[in-house]
């Protein structure tokens, strides 16, 4: 029984615009052009003979111009492809002669989707038209367009040429051909051609298939149109259209490379954890193996904590992934910035198992992780471990640069946090750990920088009073006892709870830095002189920073006499440290001399010029200060009263609490270190110009 006929009218063509092209492509006999009228004209159709000439320029190793001639005319049977194209010959005629036309079209449909079948597809199309007398139709163009999806040989320009040739021949594309164009444009992007194809598909009511959506997303990604790609991707989820695994991989790779790590993480989570929206991969173990290490390495290099933590918990903790040393170092730094000691400890343990001896940067990152998490006790514990691991190696000995995270934390917490940090050191010492001096210095520095110099001095005295006295100081203490000054000796008996740490040059330097930030009634200069005498008593060698800060204290505006600043400056020059004087110290000295109309300002400026320092703006400031003159100061009697009050405070806070006799002479009795005798300069105040 014959099949029922379908009445093809205007409504049918409106509902199915591709019907005419389907009928024409399957017709065994030629159909006159007047027998059908397409509802939507893709382009201006012009009558032409059945001679298909496709010319395109494509980029390979060099720019090659190739002409593909597909014709059913006798004269074109012997035309060959361009000599520059390394083509594979078409199958022998005797092999294809036994196949029917439909079977050859089935072969063509199979060949066009094979990888690396660019030339084979062209040869088969030419065989069908040349040798078997086939008319060029939409299936032939579809195969040629899909063949251009080849990454090396295909091109968007050749696809555009094929579409123009279809217009000349009056051939209307169908849904499969349009999807073939989108597949090719996913490999060779051309946003203008893509927009034209999508517009024509919409005009002809041709909807995208799931695979077409995939190709559209990839083409957007190749054009770096990430927002459009994500918009199409999310629409697939809203429509419950399954997403192929390879598209997930491409999205994660491309977005990670573009720095969109949060978006890439959400896509990875949707793939690994949501079986309803991702039925192909409900288990995170099924995610492509290469995605996990790449995403972890990218997130760790960018210090993206969320991405690092997710991959670490999903893959590293269960031993499915072993990151490289470089990735582990980045993970450690990421955990330090985020304040995650657990993640930092896990990464540090892996590094220790591989290397054995850890670098200083690993300890510093671990310390920062605890400091960011506001765990002061464990942060100090890391310092102790670092000091023990360093041994005699100075490169691993904790320094002020190591303790910057702790300094920031203690400074922000204020006096209460500083006192709690000081109390946290003693239990660590009772555990048998050796407290490094850097732990003490960072506490004193935080107090001094916060304007709490009184607190810093009390903590310093608690430290030095628990130390065994030097031999010279012990003899002085015995003689003072004979003379009748009775002082309890209990503070020199080192208790178990006292810190067994000796101060160093950095200890004095951080306290001197606080002398310029005093918020109490303490005298900055008298405190500085006391610290200078402490260096002599403790046998601590000063460095250039010590002299530098002593000079700045002596230059403070509240003191009329600033001759000590020049004495320390002269001593630095005698030691060969003229180049080590900081630029700000030279500026402060010049400004003070100009304000007091001291002629030595010219010497300072000449010295700066000799050192190659910029003095242009400074000379203008000096000129203005010289014209302004000195400020009004209190009378000598009033000044003496204020100094006397400071002396009383100094004795009570700085020198008291059972300090030895040498500390009672802090007024002018500061002695420099015994191994560096002072060279007091002969600089005197020169009369300035009137």
pLDDT at 113 over 90: no
Q: Please return the burial class of 637, using the count of CB atoms within 10 Å of its CB with bins 0-12, 13-18 and 19+.
A: exposed
- In Å, what is the CA distance from 70 to each residue of 19, 22, 95, 122? 25, 21, 20, 9
Q: Look at residue 11 and tell me if it is in a domain.
A: no
Q: Look at residue 85 and tell me if it is in a domain.
A: yes
Q: For residue 467, what pLDDT is reported? A: 67
Helix axes 175-187, 156-169, angle to 10 degrees: 160
Tell me the pLDDT tens digit for each residue of 130-142.
877 788 888 889 8
pLDDT at 418 over 60: yes
8-state DSSP, 15: H
Q: For residue 367, what pLDDT is reported? A: 96
Cα dihedral value 144, 149, 154, 158, nearest 10: 50
Task: Please state the separation of Cα 308 from the chain's center in Å.
Answer: 13
Cα dihedral value 605, 608, 613, 615, nearest 10: 0
- What's the rounded Cα separation, in Å, for the pair 304 and 299? 5
Identify which has the larger pLDDT, 485 or 565. Answer: 565
Of 173, 192, 225, which marks where a domain is finished? 173
Any bridge partners for residue 58, and if so which? Answer: 64
Confidence of residue 629 (pLDDT cuts 50, 70, 90): confident
Any bridge partners for residue 69, and if so which? Answer: 53
Contact 185, 216 (CB under 8 A): no
Residue 249: closest CA among 193, 292, 209: 292
Buried b (16+ CB within 10 A) or exposed e, 542-565: bebbbbbbbbbbbbbeebeebebb
Q: Look at residue 606 and tell me if it is in a domain.
A: yes
Confidence of residue 631 (pLDDT cuts 50, 70, 90): confident
Report the half-sphere exposure of 337 (CA within 13 A, side-chain side): 14
Number of structural domains found in the chain: 2
Q: Look at residue 41 and tell me if it is in a domain.
A: no
Structure tokens given for 479? 């003689």
Residue 343: closest CA among 352, 332, 353: 332
Residue 13: closest CA among 209, 208, 205: 205
Structure tokens given for 425? 């050191």
For the segment 57-75, the average pLDDT, to the nearest whole number, is 39
Confidence of residue 519 (pLDDT cuts 50, 70, 90): low
Q: For residue 112, what pLDDT is reported? A: 74
Q: Look at residue 417 and tell me if it is in a domain.
A: no
Structure tokens given for 18? 């591709």
Q: For residue 497, what pLDDT is reported? A: 63
- What's the rounded Cα separation, in Å, for the pair 232 and 238? 10
8-state DSSP, 66: E
Residue 322: closest CA among 301, 292, 300: 292
Q: Look at residue 541 and tell me if it is in a domain.
A: yes
- What's the rounded Cα separation, in Å, for the pair 445 and 565? 23
Identify which has the larger pLDDT, 653 or 324. Answer: 324
Q: Supply the pTM of this predicted model.
A: 0.72
Residue 435: closest CA among 420, 424, 447, 444: 424
8-state DSSP, 658: T
Contact 436, 383 (CB under 8 A): yes
Confidence of residue 560 (pLDDT cuts 50, 70, 90): confident
Tell me the pLDDT tens digit for each residue of 222-271.
999 999 999 999 999 899 898 898 999 999 999 999 999 999 999 999 88
- In Å, what is the CA distance from 488 to each residue of 347, 433, 491? 52, 30, 7
Name the residue range of residue 149's domain.
Answer: 50-173
Structure tokens given for 108? 């063509």
Q: For residue 248, what pLDDT is reported? A: 93
pLDDT at 690 over 90: no
CA angle 236, 242, 244 (to 5 degrees): 105
- In Å, what is the CA distance from 345 to each residue of 331, 365, 483? 10, 10, 59
For the segment 58-69, the average pLDDT, to the nearest whole number, is 37
pLDDT at 9 over 90: no
Task: Say whether 58 sits in a helix, a strand or coil.
Answer: strand
Q: For residue 482, what pLDDT is reported? A: 31
Of 148, 173, 198, which marks where a domain is finished? 173
Structure tokens given for 668? 């002018």
Contact 140, 25 (CB under 8 A): no
What is the distance between the terminal CA atoms of the chain, rounded to a whole angstrom? Answer: 129
Of 151, 173, 195, which marks where a domain is finished? 173
**CA-derived radius of gyration, the chain:** 43
For the segment 206-227, the average pLDDT, to the nearest whole number, is 95
Structure tokens given for 307? 């991405």
- In Å, what is the CA distance from 353 to each residue of 349, 358, 633? 6, 10, 67
Contact 535, 678 (CB under 8 A): no
Structure tokens given for 205? 């009511």
- What's the rounded Cα separation, in Å, for the pair 587 and 642? 28
Picking from 94-98, 200-204, 576-580, which range would have the lowest pLDDT averaged per residue?
94-98
Q: For residue 644, what pLDDT is reported? A: 37
- What's the rounded Cα separation, in Å, for the pair 567 and 371? 41
For the segment 69-95, the average pLDDT, to the nearest whole number, is 40
- What's the rounded Cα separation, in Å, for the pair 337 and 342? 13
Helix axes 245-257, 226-238, angle to 10 degrees: 150
Q: For residue 639, what pLDDT is reported? A: 42
- What's the rounded Cα separation, in Å, for the pair 358 and 438? 19
Contact 178, 200 (CB under 8 A): yes
Q: Look at residue 508 and tell me if it is in a domain.
A: yes
Backbone angles phi, psi at 58, to 5 degrees: -130, 150
Q: Look at residue 72 and tell me if it is in a domain.
A: yes
Q: Which helix (H) or strand (E) holds 489?
A: none
Task: Please state the separation of Cα 582 from the chain's center in Å.
Answer: 33
- What's the rounded Cα separation, in Å, for the pair 82 and 64? 9
Picking from 87-96, 535-544, 564-573, 594-603, which range would have the lowest pLDDT averaged per residue?
87-96
In sequence order, what are the residues at sequence separation of 6 or more whose Cβ sits closer than 8 angstroms to the Cβ of residue 142?
112, 173, 174, 176, 177, 180
Q: For residue 357, what pLDDT is reported? A: 82
């Amino acid at each position: 029984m014959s099949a029922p006929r379908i009445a093809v009218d205007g409504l049918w063509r409106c509902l199915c615009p591709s019907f005419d092209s389907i009928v024409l492509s399957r017709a065994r006999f030629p159909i006159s052009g007047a027998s059908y009228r397409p509802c939507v004209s893709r382009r201006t159709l012009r009558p032409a003979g059945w001679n298909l000439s496709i010319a395109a320029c494509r980029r390979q190793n060099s720019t090659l111009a190739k002409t593909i001639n597909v014709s059913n005319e006798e004269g074109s049977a012997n035309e060959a492809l361009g000599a520059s194209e390394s083509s594979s010959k078409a199958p022998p005629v005797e092999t294809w002669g036994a196949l029917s036309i439909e079977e050859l079209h089935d072969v063509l449909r199979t060949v066009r989707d094979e990888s690396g079948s660019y030339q084979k597809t062209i040869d088969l199309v030419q065989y069908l038209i040349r040798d078997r007398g086939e008319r060029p139709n939409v299936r032939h163009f579809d195969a040629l367009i899909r063949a251009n999806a080849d990454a090396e040989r295909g091109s968007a320009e050749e696809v555009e040429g094929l579409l123009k040739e279809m217009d000349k021949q009056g051939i209307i594309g169908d849904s499969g051909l349009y999807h073939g164009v989108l597949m090719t444009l996913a490999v060779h992007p051309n946003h203008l051609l893509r927009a034209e194809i999508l517009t024509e598909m919409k005009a002809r009511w041709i909807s995208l298939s799931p695979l077409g959506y995939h190709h559209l997303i990839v083409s957007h990604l190749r054009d770096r149109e990430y927002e459009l790609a994500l918009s199409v991707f999310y629409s697939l989820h809203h429509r419950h259209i399954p997403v192929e695994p390879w598209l997930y991989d491409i999205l994660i790779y491309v977005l990670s490379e573009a720095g969109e790590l949060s978006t890439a993480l959400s896509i990875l989570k949707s793939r690994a954890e949501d079986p309803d929206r991702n039925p192909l991969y409900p288990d995170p173990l099924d995610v492509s193996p290469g995605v996990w290490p790449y995403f972890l390495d990218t997130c760790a290099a960018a210090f993206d904590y969320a991405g690092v933590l997710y991959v670490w918990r999903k893959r590293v903790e269960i031993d499915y992934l072993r990151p490289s040393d470089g990735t582990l170092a980045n993970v450690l730094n990421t955990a330090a910035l985020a304040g995650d000691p657990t993640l930092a400890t896990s990464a540090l343990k892996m590094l220790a198992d591989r290397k054995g001896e850890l670098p200083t940067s690993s300890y510093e990152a671990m310390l920062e992780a605890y400091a960011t998490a506001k765990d002061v006790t464990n942060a100090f514990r890391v310092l102790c471990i670092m000091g023990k691991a360093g041994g005699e190696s100075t490169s691993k000995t904790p320094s002020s640069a190591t303790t910057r995270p702790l300094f920031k934390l203690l400074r922000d917490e204020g006096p209460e946090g500083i006192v709690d940090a000081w109390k946290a050191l003693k239990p660590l010492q009772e555990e048998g750990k050796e407290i490094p001096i850097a732990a003490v210095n960072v506490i004193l520095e935080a107090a001094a920088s916060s304007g709490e110099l009184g607190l810093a001095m009390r903590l310093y005295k608690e430290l030095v009073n628990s130390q065994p006295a030097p031999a010279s100081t012990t003899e002085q203490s015995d003689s003072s006892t004979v003379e009748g000054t009775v002082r309890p000796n209990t503070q020199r008996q080192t208790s178990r709870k006292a810190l067994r740490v000796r101060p160093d040059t950095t200890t004095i330097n951080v306290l001197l830095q606080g002398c310029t930030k005093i918020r109490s009634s303490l005298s900055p200069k008298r405190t500085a002189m006391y610290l200078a005498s402490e260096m002599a008593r403790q046998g601590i060698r000063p460095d250039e920073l010590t002299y530098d800060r002593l000079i700045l204290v002596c230059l403070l505006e509240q003191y009329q006499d600033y001759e000590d600043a020049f004495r320390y400056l002269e001593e630095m020059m005698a030691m060969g440290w003229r180049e080590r004087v900081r630029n700000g110290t030279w500026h402060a000295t010049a400004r003070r001399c100009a304000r007091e109309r001291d002629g030595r300002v010219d010497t300072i400026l000449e010295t700066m010029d000799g050192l190659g320092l910029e003095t242009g703006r400074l000379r203008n400031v000096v000129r203005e200060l010289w014209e302004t003159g000195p400020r009004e100061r209190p009378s000598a009697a009033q000044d003496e009263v204020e100094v006397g009050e400071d002396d009383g405070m100094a004795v009570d806070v700085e020198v008291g609490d059972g300090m030895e006799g040498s500390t009672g002479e802090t007024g002018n009795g500061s002695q420099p270190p015994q191994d560096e005798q002072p060279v007091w300069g002969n600089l005197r105040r020169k009369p300035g110009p009137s």
